[in-house]
Amino acid sequence: MSHLDDIPSTPGKFKMEKSPYVHNRLRWHFSLAKLTFWSFIFLGLIVVFFFRSPSSNPLLQDPSRRSLRTYNWGGPAWEKQVRSSARIRSRNGFSVLVTGAAGFVGTHVSAALKRRGDGVLGLDNFNDYYDPSLKRARQALLERSGVFIVEGDINDSVLLRKLFEVVAFTHVMHLAAQAGVRYAMENPSSYVHSNIAGLVSLLEVCKSANPQPAIVWASSSSVYGLNTKVPFSERDRTDQPASLYAATKKAGEEIAHTFNHIYGLSLTGLRFFTVYGPWGRPDMAYFFFTRDILKGKSIPIFEAANHGTVARDFTYVDDIVKGCLAALDTAEKSTGSGGKKKGPAQLRVYNLGNTSPVPVSDLVSILEKLLKVNAKRNIMKLPRNGDVQFTHANISLAQRELGYKPSTDLQTGLKKFVRWYVSYYSGGKKAAG
């Protein structure tokens, strides 16, 4: 007899026969329906996640996360390259891990360390904040001098731990960062990713290394923010950042203090003031001014309120390199071991500038003479995007403790830059910008 015969033929209260067979079968139908329902929900979520448009994919939409791509590293041949590059070749030399080695300052510092016989290993993620081909050209330059650059991200703690397993670094020169004041308004998360999370990631590995390395790292003159007292001194207030970039660098100084206090890491922060020179960054004014003057394009010249002058303490890269090396040479050893502090450790901050601010309009005049082309100047109000009216470094502390003495004036430095620029971009390289 069919189970349909159990249903009453006349209207009234429905009463099901309480047989185990009927009860189990209905429960099975109910479970199957529920399973089917949730399966469709789950499949729908998969479709939405994997097949939505690229513009809605956070990994593609957020440039700060592009560096999380997979890098190829490891293996006997790779470890051999790492060891060879980091091998010390001079008496009392250092073994230095340079982060951001394919960057502007990183390239110059790495080359200088290698020339004097230190072991140097580079680390860079080659992101596309600006033309990666320039970074690759710097990489080729360093490789010719024996510096190997590992392609990877400072947020990759597995890679960092591996590097410290292969090489017992005596020092770290941490120059990797998301640079640029204005770009922070377009992609703020990239600054947190690189300048805060990246710094913490590196310091976490350094604190657990045995022995712990001494660390010198790049802060920025931007930390002085809205400070109106000039010249800027290390003792001045730095609690009024004018940009997110500045805020992340200020946060970095506080993070450095924390790791020094808790774990005994020796840390030296260097506040760079508007670094310029050959192999520079295309997003810097002197660089794109040169490009646009040669192309006949107008260039923006900012002025402050009431036609106020905008000036920068332009510092030539070779002077910055001397300051970086002096900071390494005077850095004391970290006092911790295996993540535990055993005594007070060195904690320092220095201004590295030229202590001679130059109006941006004067910079343009110098470029006009060197390029033999008149610039098309477009005078504009200083935008409220993080730029400040002036920077001026008090370098007395660095002079006294590091022996830092900048010696390159803007005219001389720009002459060297223009010579490099013309040679690089007319020698078969693709046009800048």
Q: Which of 191, 224, 245, 316 is catalytic?
A: 245
AA identity, residue 193: H
Q: Is 286 a catalytic residue?
A: no
Residues 6+ apart with CB under 8 A from 186: none
What are the respective helix, strand and coil percentages of the chain, to the nearest 5?
Answer: 50, 15, 35
Torsion of CA 93, 96, 101, 103, to 10 degrees: -80
Q: Read out DSSP for 191-249?
A: HIIIIIIHHHHHHHHHHHSSSPPEEEEE--GGGGTT--SSSB-TTS-----SSHHHHHH
- Which SS3 state, helix, strand or coil, does residue 426 take? helix
The Cα–Cα gap between 154 and 100 comes to 9
Max CA-CA distance within the chain? 108
345 — phi, psi (to 5°)?
-120, 160
Q: Which residues of 328-339 are buried (b: 16+ CB within 10 A; e: fewer)?
A: beebeebbbbee
Contact 318, 398 (CB under 8 A): no
Contact 383, 300 (CB under 8 A): no
Start-to-end C-alpha separation, the chain: 84
Active site residues: 245
